[in-house]
Amino acid sequence: MTSEPAKDGLPMTDHTTKAFDVDLRELTRMIEEMGRLVERQIADSLDALASRDSELGQRAIALDPSIDALQHEIEEKAVLTIARRQPMAIDLREIVGALRIANDLERVGDLAKNIGKRVLPLSEDLHPANLMVGVERMGELVLGRIRQVLDSYANRKLELALAVWNGDEEVDSMCTSLFRELLTYMMEDARNITYCIHLMFCAKNIERMGDHATNIAETVYYIMEGRAITEQRPKGDTTSFAAMVAEKR
Amino acid sequence: MTSEPAKDGLPMTDHTTKAFDVDLRELTRMIEEMGRLVERQIADSLDALASRDSELGQRAIALDPSIDALQHEIEEKAVLTIARRQPMAIDLREIVGALRIANDLERVGDLAKNIGKRVLPLSEDLHPANLMVGVERMGELVLGRIRQVLDSYANRKLELALAVWNGDEEVDSMCTSLFRELLTYMMEDARNITYCIHLMFCAKNIERMGDHATNIAETVYYIMEGRAITEQRPKGDTTSFAAMVAEKR
């Protein structure tokens, strides 16, 4: 981590720098822990769906409060770190990035919980397993994207973040064709309607998880490059954090 | 706003305090601006749905980038305020609260955008208007809750925040009965299926907006009372911000 001029043009003392590094490492560790919980929650809810195991679905739902609590802890830790250490621009980006990623992970957790809630009604309804296959495949694809983007954050892999960012269309087109398939099935026989609606909501939840993987990829890019992924501006920190440092100097 | 001891046991100077108050007022103003945009977006998307006006639906969608940009501005402003002014516990809560509310408003904006996107397919499909009525009524109820909770934030009305927090069940039960009605209609005639699925997704989006109104009510409570709304602990700041101030003293 950097340790350059901070507040009022005075350099951060070694003491402050080290303390900041410790805070930042702890924040990164918390994000990684949150990421692991969310990955498990997605995997559990998808497995529960595939095996019509409503108990496993309940376990996925039960993970949600821990994930929400971690988000609040990360938020408090981030804010306290800023207040105590007054980091400079690049380090502020690290902290804002942590806040954004925690926020996206919390939303992904909510979506996984929503899938967990549909396992019970789906498991009571006996329908051909092949319809579920499309949802499962979509789920695996998105879980893979979540894993990749968390890897890109933990190990600062810009290329991997870009790959995730560029790969969202596959999920969206998978979702569209799945919806079409489910719709046909509903038209054929009214007894399929309830079942297919549940699957549609599951597919929509998975599609949105994919959107959050894209958001996280954008945040990793922002942390590493100091600008939005969509901008074609020349390199350099163009956020107002840079302005703050300039002002302070 | 308060202006008590800050960093290192030294009192904030008058200069710092005033600067903080200016920052905080600006942050509150930005939240209110974001709130107005989101209210308009909801109202437009609901009107578009009711009048099958796809152009108005597009206008609701077009508001989304401004709302997203405002969220990022609020985030940066909040972080810079903490770094520059190192506020004490109660003022940190104000800033964390602003971050959370901006976050919820951004999500509400996304949901309103989703409704806007369904106006076009719905307007092409001629169906009895009475089915739309349920969605409209739900939408009005939720828009009212969003307005109330933003009022409770702007004017620090704890009772109003509590009323919003306690009123979520009405939306949920409205949504459940609407789903039942739409399902019956789908079962009756397969030609209704596509139309009803769109309405179900609209209803689900509206229901989630209601959840965010509840979240914002929780944040208002947290800002004003220094603890979570669900906690029955005795009054007092029990967050780690209080610990920070204690540590600094």
Q: What is the ipTM of this complex?
A: 0.84
Interface contact A200-B197, CB threshold 8 A: yes
Nearest CB to B92; choose among A79, A194, A200: A79
Q: What is the mean pLDDT of chain B?
A: 86
Q: Touching check for A76 and chain B: CB below 8 Å?
A: yes
Backbone torsions φ then ψ of B6, nearest 5 degrees: -115, -120
Q: CA angle at residue A67 from A66 to A71, to 5 degrees?
A: 115
Both tokens of A243, joined, read 């302005």
Question: At residue B243, does pLDDT exceed 50?
Answer: no
**A window 197-236, beta carbon within 8 A of B:** 197, 200-201, 204
Single-letter residue type at A4: E
Tokens 């104000």 belong to B94
Question: How many Å lie between the alpha carbon of B114 and the closest alpha carbon of chain A?
Answer: 12
Interface contact A200-B204, CB threshold 8 A: no
Q: Which of B75, B104, B197 to mutate to test the interface with A (most CBs of A within 10 A)?
A: B197
Both tokens of A143, joined, read 């879980």
Q: Touching check for B99 and chain A: CB below 8 Å?
A: yes
Which chain A residues are closer than 8 Å to B83 by Cβ?
A: 82-83, 86-87, 92, 244
Cβ-Cβ contacts under 8 Å for A97 (sequence gap 6 or more): A219, A220, A222, A223
Nearest CB to A193; choose among B79, B103, B183: B183
Which chain B residues are closer than 8 Å to A80 by Cβ?
A: 240-241, 244
SS3 B228: coil
Single-letter residue type at A240: S
Question: At residue A128, does pLDDT exceed 90?
Answer: no
pLDDT tens by residue, A102-126: 999 999 999 999 999 999 988 877 7
Cβ-Cβ contacts under 8 Å for A32 (sequence gap 6 or more): A150, A154
Burial class of residue B173 in the structure, from the number of CB atoms within 10 Å of its CB (0-12 exposed, 13-18 middle, 19+ buried): exposed
Question: At residue B124, does pLDDT exceed 90?
Answer: no
Q: How far is CA B13 from CA A248, B4, B85, B86, in A?
A: 18, 9, 10, 12
Single-letter residue type at B206: I
Q: Tell me, what's the pLDDT at B29?
A: 97
Provide the β-strand partners of residue A11.
Answer: A5
Of the pLDDT bands very low, low, confident and very high (cuts 50, 70, 90), residue A12 is: low
Interface contact B183-A190, CB threshold 8 A: no
Q: Touching check for A10 and chain B: CB below 8 Å?
A: no
Question: At residue A241, does pLDDT exceed 80?
Answer: no
Tokens 């596959």 belong to A170
* CA neighbours closer than 13 Å in the CB half-sphere of residue A72: 14
Both tokens of A44, joined, read 């559990």
Largest Cα–Cα distance in chain A?
74
Whether B162 contacts B147, CB under 8 Å = no
Question: At residue A138, does pLDDT exceed 50?
Answer: yes
DSSP 8-state symbol, A8: G
The angle, 0 to 180 degrees and rounded to 10, between the axes of the packed helices B89-123 and B14-50 is 20
More confident site: A89 or B101: B101
Q: What distance in Å separates the CA atoms of residue B149 and residue B168, rounded to the nearest whole number?
A: 12
Cβ-Cβ contacts under 8 Å for A164 (sequence gap 6 or more): A145, A148, A149, A152, A213, A214, A216, A217
Helical H segments across chain A, by residue range: 14-50, 54-62, 64-85, 89-123, 130-154, 158-166, 168-188, 193-225, 240-248
Cβ-Cβ contacts under 8 Å for A76 (sequence gap 6 or more): B96, B239, B240, B241
Both tokens of A182, joined, read 């489910």
**What residue in B sits closest to A104 (Cα-Cα)?**
B103
Interface contact A240-B80, CB threshold 8 A: yes
Q: What distance in Å separates the CA atoms of residue B185 and residue B219, rounded to the nearest whole number?
A: 39
Which chain A residues are closer than 8 Å to B103 by Cβ?
A: 103
Give the mean pLDDT of B42-54: 94
Q: Touching check for B80 and chain A: CB below 8 Å?
A: yes
Of the pLDDT bands very low, low, confident and very high (cuts 50, 70, 90), residue B68 is: very high
Q: Which of A7, A64, A79 to mutate to test the interface with B (most CBs of B within 10 A)?
A: A79
Backbone torsions φ then ψ of B203, nearest 5 degrees: -60, -40
Interface contact A197-B194, CB threshold 8 A: no
Q: What distance in Å separates the CA atoms of residue A178 and residue B138, rounded to the nearest whole number?
A: 29
The angle, 0 to 180 degrees and rounded to 10, between the axes of the packed helices A193-225 and B168-188 is 130
Interface contact A83-B99, CB threshold 8 A: no
Q: CA angle at residue A24 from A21 to A27, to 5 degrees?
A: 155
More confident site: A77 or B237: A77
CA nearest neighbour of A71 among A44, A45, A46, A107? A107
